[in-house]
């Protein structure tokens, strides 16, 4: 198979990236390692390359290996050739999966916000922008042991700027503080420095695990300086988890920022924001445990495996669509 035609068309590259992300979603793969394992189940000598797959899924490049397309076609089992798989339009791809996998694939059409008559190919911008409820451990000594709920807004990237416009808001001591800047994408993940909009507080830095479609949970680390404490500000690093919320809850997201006593507060907050938390017993407890975790292997300031949290967050988000 000659892939030069595929590689020469930006629209087909975007379609290719979306098709690979939808494949990962169909089979429950929440990261590149899981997708690599899926291909290796089909062929231990697969040509799937984890390092290159980041660019593939972003629609910035496509594999040249004909063997990889053949492996992919076998995995999908949709009765289509590897050549068709490489060059078909996104809507036709989803339709083929619906015909073969039924309800499991039907949710994919909702995830890409397309209809039978209107394909919606997109790159990373197609699912990353949105509004998120952010949870982390409170760093102020006045609220030790509690969680702080903040809000995050991510906008579409601009070709003239190297990242997604971001605004992170918190409320403490009766004051709303907002940090803004650009969150940039790399092969490793998402990261960026956000500066306080009125200049009174220190910057905040985010380093997040690269999300996959539908981007329901952004998890990683936040570093900065404690704003509410006696004496001089001291530096901190904490785990954070940002959950995408439905549009109907956007208007009340910022105004409901606050400290939460414990994991039951996280559950109640997610429920109030329109995520069907009742369908995922134990999720809030697991999320709180992950935020507090400082296991011996990873240490307190590294991000350990989050696959199980991502899977449940995806299911909760898709139930809102």
Spatial separation of the C-alpha atoms in residues 134 and 152, rounded to whole Å? 7
Q: Are residues 111 and 131 part of one domain? A: no
Domain boundary among 122, 137, 164: 122
Residue-wise pLDDT tens for the chain (321 aa)? 444 444 445 667 777 888 888 888 888 886 777 888 889 888 889 988 877 777 777 777 788 888 999 999 999 988 888 888 888 888 888 888 888 887 767 667 666 543 333 333 333 445 788 999 999 999 999 999 999 999 999 988 766 567 888 999 999 988 999 999 999 988 789 999 999 998 888 999 999 998 888 899 999 999 999 988 877 778 999 999 999 999 899 999 999 999 999 999 999 999 999 999 999 999 999 999 999 986 444 555 556 678 889 999 999 999 998
Tell whether 81 and 198 lie within a shared domain. no
pLDDT in the model for residue 50: 79
CA distance 15 to 93: 9
Residues 72 and 151 in one domain: no
Give the residue carrying structure tokens 């939460």.
260
Query: Is there a contact between 130 and 313 (Cβ–Cβ < 8 Å)?
Result: no
Tell me: do 29 and 113 sit in the same domain. yes
Q: How high is the pLDDT of residue 291?
A: 94
Say if residue 214 is preceded by a cis peptide, omega within 30 of 0.
yes
d(CA 198, CA 106): 46
Instruction: Name the nearest CA neighbour of 219 among 317, 100, 149, 309.
Output: 309
One domain for residues 113 and 257: no
The answer to whether 184 touches 194, Cβ cutoff 8 Å, is no
> If you compute the radius of gyration of the chain from its CA atoms, what whole number of angstroms results?
21
d(CA 69, CA 47): 9
Residue at a domain's end among 122, 151, 167:
122
Q: Domain check: are 142 and 117 in the same one?
A: no
Q: How many domains does the chain have?
A: 2
Domain boundary among the residues 66, 97, 122 is at 122
What is the domain range of residue 34? 4-122
Q: State whether 189 and 300 are in the same domain.
A: yes
One domain, residues 282 and 223: yes
Contact 192, 182 (CB under 8 A): yes
Residues 12 and 110 in one domain: yes
Q: How far is CA 50 from CA 32, 72, 192, in A?
A: 6, 15, 24
Instruction: Mark whether 142 and 239 lie in a shared domain.
Output: yes
Whether residue 210 is found in the same domain as residue 158: yes
Question: Domain check: are 194 and 258 in the same one?
Answer: yes
- Kindly give, in sequence order, each residue whose CB lies less than 8 Å from that of residue 45, ignoring residues fewer than 6 positions away: none
Query: CB atoms < 10 A from the CB of 278, how many?
Result: 11
* pLDDT for 7: 44
């Amino acid at each position: 198979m000659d892939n030069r035609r595929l590689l020469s068309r930006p629209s087909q590259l975007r379609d290719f990236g979306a098709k690979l992300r939808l494949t990962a979603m169909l089979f429950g793969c929440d990261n590149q390692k899981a997708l690599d394992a899926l291909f290796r189940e089909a062929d231990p000598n697969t040509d799937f390359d984890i390092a290159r797959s980041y660019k593939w899924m972003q629609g910035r490049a496509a594999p040249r290996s004909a063997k990889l397309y053949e492996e992919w076609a076998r995995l999908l089992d949709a009765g289509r050739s590897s050549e068709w798989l490489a060059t078909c339009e996104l809507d036709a791809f989803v339709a083929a999966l619906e015909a073969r996998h039924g309800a499991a694939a039907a949710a994919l059409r909702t995830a890409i916000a397309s209809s039978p008559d209107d394909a919606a190919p997109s790159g990373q911008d197609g699912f990353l922008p949105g509004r998120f409820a952010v949870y982390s451990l409170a760093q102020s000594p006045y609220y030790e042991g509690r969680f702080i709920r903040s809000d995050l807004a991510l906008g579409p990237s601009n070709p003239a700027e190297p990242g997604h416009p971001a605004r992170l808001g918190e409320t403490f001591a009766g004051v709303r503080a907002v940090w803004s800047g650009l969150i940039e994408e790399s092969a490793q993940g998402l990261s960026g420095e956000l500066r306080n909009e009125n200049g009174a507080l220190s910057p905040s830095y985010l380093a997040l695990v690269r999300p996959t479609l539908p981007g329901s949970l952004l998890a990683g680390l936040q570093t900065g300086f404690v704003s509410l404490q006696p004496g001089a500000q001291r530096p901190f690093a904490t785990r954070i988890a940002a959950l995408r919320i439905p549009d109907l809850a956007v208007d009340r997201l910022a105004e409901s920022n606050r400290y939460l006593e414990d994991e039951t507060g996280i559950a109640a907050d997610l429920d109030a924001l329109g995520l069907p938390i009742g369908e995922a017993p134990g999720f809030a407890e697991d999320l709180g445990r992950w935020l507090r975790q400082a296991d011996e292997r990873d240490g307190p300031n590294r991000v350990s495996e989050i696959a199980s949290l991502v899977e449940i967050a995806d299911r909760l988000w898709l139930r809102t669509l």
